[in-house]
């Protein structure tokens, strides 16, 4: 892979809106990605391996629980800092960002928000350092966009719960130490349970042959009569709103992360277009290529503004789920379109691993599908503005 020459586009001087702390955090994450992710990520993606060697680095830049309080091992930062860290990581690779998103928003967040003090003390510090890695089990083979239908369930057996069921498409599953699993009790109400590797009847087979998020490990969570101690149930929230609250937090991070992937594709295409000579001049001098680049920077700038404003609302605890849906949908769509255009601008070189664009493009096919598909987020906006539910 070519050396990482990334220069971040900031067409509307958005840096002026950031605090010194935001910029320090962002720049530290950016430098780490250049130093520790860019040189190894193409090889990891080609081999379809999650590069575990980067786990300590992710912890060091605050990617595991950026907004979790310091007393639990988190970085105690605001939501814009969280967004900026996700942006920088996804600039390197969406799969690495997925690992960080899951750990922070889908594992640490529910333990922090819905867990009791003993659970926070037991799990959060180890998750913050990456000593333990987590996964989040919501999706099932027959229930993806409609998680309310889940069949994974647990029964009260007096001194423990007995968990049965299966989760599919679970990021980090093959190597996770703990899994936050959503399952129904005997009355059909959804609860979160922390399942630990080593519990009898709990297995995590890997899903192979993905063409997308190849540097992220994806798999199943299978539960066959797993005895889960009663103290592993998250006591402070139940119902579908509990997992959906986690998804709000993760989708917010994705809205920022997708900007990183788009920035990398734009920056790569711009540099290539200035250097690549055809018909006696750089291809950047042709109107058709300028149209692509001009539209890319316009869309990136709009997405940056959307994410920044959403970050302000989130900091004030005023961001609605529907606002988060809009940003996730818009920014991922923006990124995937830019990746496709940028890939064409590199001609044949665009399909090789010499450049990051094709990897981003394939990764974004997962990002546009997980955490609510592109269509599902449109239905959420539709419901919000019309009051009519078009889901069913």
Ligand X SMILES: Cc1cc2nc3c(=O)[nH]c(=O)nc-3n(C[C@H](O)[C@H](O)[C@H](O)COP(=O)(O)OP(=O)(O)OC[C@H]3O[C@@H](n4cnc5c(N)ncnc54)[C@H](O)[C@@H]3O)c2cc1C
- Which residues carry out catalysis? 371
Pick the closer one to ligand X by CB: 44 or 213: 213
What is the smallest separation between the CB atom of 186 and ligand X, expressed in angstroms? 23
Binding track over 39-68 against ligand X, x by CB under 6 A: ------------------------------
Under rule CB under 6 A, residue 148 binds ligand X? no
The DSSP bridge partners found for residue 297 are: none
The span of 46-54, 80-88, 287-295, 375-383 binding ligand X (CB under 6 A) equals 375-383
> Residue from 102, 246, 283, 332 that binds ligand X (CB under 6 A)?
102
Compute the distance between CA of residue 200 and CA of residue 243 in angstroms, rounded to an integer.
Answer: 25
> 6, 32, 132, 169: which one contacts ligand X (CB under 6 A)?
169
143: DSSP letter: B
107, 74 in Cβ contact below 8 A?
Answer: no
List the beta bridge partners of residue 143. Answer: 140
183 near ligand X, judged by CB under 6 A = no
CB 2 within 8 A of CB 354: yes
Q: CB-wise, 168 or 345, nearer to ligand X?
A: 168
Contact pick of 53, 121, 145, 224 for ligand X (by CB under 6 A): 145
> Least Å distance between CB 238 and ligand X?
17
Binding test (CB under 6 A) with ligand X, winner from 184, 194, 366, 368: 366
Residue 192 phi/psi, 5° resolution?
Answer: -100, 135
Report, in Å, the least distance between residue 259 CB and ligand X. Answer: 20
Using rule CB under 6 A, residue 136 touches ligand X = yes
Burial of 262-290, coded b for 16+ CB within 10 Å and e otherwise, reads: bbbbbbbbbbbbeebeeeeeebbeeeebe
Based on CB atoms, which residue is closest to ligand X, 173 or 304?
173
Euclidean distance between CA atoms 260 and 335, whole angstroms: 8
Cβ closer to ligand X: 156 or 375? 375
Please, what is the minimum distance in Å from the beta carbon of residue 372 to ligand X? 6
200 exposure class (CB count in 10 Å sphere: 0-12, 13-18, 19+) = exposed
Q: Contact between 18 and ligand X (CB under 6 A)?
A: no
Is 391 a residue that touches ligand X (CB under 6 A)? Answer: yes
Q: Does 170 sit near ligand X (CB under 6 A)?
A: yes
Q: Total residues at the site for ligand X (CB under 6 A)?
A: 21
- Under rule CB under 6 A, residue 369 binds ligand X: yes
Piece in contact with ligand X (CB under 6 A), picked from 20-28, 51-59, 118-126, 138-146: 138-146
The yes or no reply on residue 29 touching ligand X (CB under 6 A) is: no
Identify any residues that bridge with 223 across adjacent strands, giving them in sequence order.
165, 202
Torsion of CA 32, 33, 35, 41, to 10 degrees: 140
Closer Cβ to ligand X, 152 or 289, answer by number: 152
Q: Which residue is nearest to ligand X (CB)?
A: 144
Question: Which of 125, 144, 245, 282 touches ligand X (CB under 6 A)?
Answer: 144
Q: Is 325 in the site for ligand X (CB under 6 A)?
A: no
| Residue 216 DSSP class | S
Question: For ligand X, which residue of 28, 297, 322, 376 counts as binding (CB under 6 A)?
Answer: 376
Tell me if 138 contacts ligand X by CB under 6 A: yes
DSSP string, 68-119: S-GGGTS----HHHHHHHHHHHHHH-HHHHHHHHIIIIIIIHHHHHHS-HHH
Alpha-carbon gap, residue 113 to 123, rounded angstroms? 13
Name the 3-class secondary structure at 161.
strand
**Residue whose CB is less far from ligand X, 26 or 328:** 328
User: Shortest gap between Cβ of 210 and ligand X (angstroms)?
Assistant: 7
Buried residues in 126-164 as b, exposed as e (16+ CB within 10 A) = bbbebebbbbbbbbbeebbeebeebebbbeeeeebbebb
- Containing H/E element for 226? strand 218-229
Contact predicate 97/365, CB 8 Å? no
- Residue of 65, 137, 192, 257 interacting with ligand X (CB under 6 A): 137
Residue 213 makes contact with ligand X by CB under 6 A: yes
Contacts of 279 (CB under 8 A, 6+ apart): none
Interface residues toward ligand X, by CB under 6 A: 102, 136-139, 144-145, 169-171, 213, 218, 366, 369-371, 373, 375-376, 379, 391
């Amino acid at each position: 892979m070519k050396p990482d020459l990334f220069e971040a586009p900031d067409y509307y001087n958005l840096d002026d809106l950031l605090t010194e702390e935001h910029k320090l955090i962002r720049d530290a994450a950016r430098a780490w990605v250049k130093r520790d992710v860019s040189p190894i990520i193409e090889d990891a993606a080609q081999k379809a391996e999650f590069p575990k060697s980067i786990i300590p680095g992710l912890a060091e830049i605050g990617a595991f629980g950026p907004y979790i309080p310091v007393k639990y091992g988190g970085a105690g930062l605001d939501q814009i800092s969280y967004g900026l860290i996700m942006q920088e990581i996804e600039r390197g690779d969406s799969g690495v960002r997925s690992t960080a998103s899951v750990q922070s928003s889908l594992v640490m967040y529910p333990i922090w928000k819905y867990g009791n003090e003993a659970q926070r003390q037991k799990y959060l510090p180890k998750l913050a350092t990456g000593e333990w890695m987590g996964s989040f089990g919501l999706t099932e083979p027959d229930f993806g966009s409609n998680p309310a239908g889940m069949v994974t369930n647990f029964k009260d057996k007096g001194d423990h719960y007995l968990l049965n069921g299966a989760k599919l498409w679970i990021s980090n599953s093959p190597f996770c130490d703990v899994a936050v699993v959503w399952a129904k009790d005997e009355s059909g109400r959804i609860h979160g349970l922390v399942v630990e590797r080593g519990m009898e009847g709990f297995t995590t087979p890997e899903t192979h042959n993905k063409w997308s998020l190849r540097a992220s490990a994806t798999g199943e969570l299978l539960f066959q009569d797993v005895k889960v101690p009663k103290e592993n149930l998250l006591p402070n929230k139940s119902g579908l709103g509990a997992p959906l609250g986690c998804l709000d937090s993760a989708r917010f991070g994705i809205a920022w992360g997708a900007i990183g992937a788009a920035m990398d594709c734009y920056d790569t295409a711009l540099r290539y277009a200035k250097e690549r000579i055809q018909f006696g001049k750089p291809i950047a001098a042709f109107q058709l290529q300028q149209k692509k680049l001009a539209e890319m920077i316009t869309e990136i700038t709009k997405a940056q503004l959307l994410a920044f404003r959403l970050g302000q609302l989130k900091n004030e605890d005023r961001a609605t789920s529907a606002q988060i849906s809009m940003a996730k949908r818009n920014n991922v769509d923006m990124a995937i379109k830019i990746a496709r255009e940028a890939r064409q601008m590199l001609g044949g070189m665009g399909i090789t691993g010499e450049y990051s664009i094709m990897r981003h493009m394939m990764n974004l096919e997962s990002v546009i599908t997980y955490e609510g598909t592109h269509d599902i987020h449109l239905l959420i906006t539709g419901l919000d503005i019309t009051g009519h539910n078009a889901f069913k």
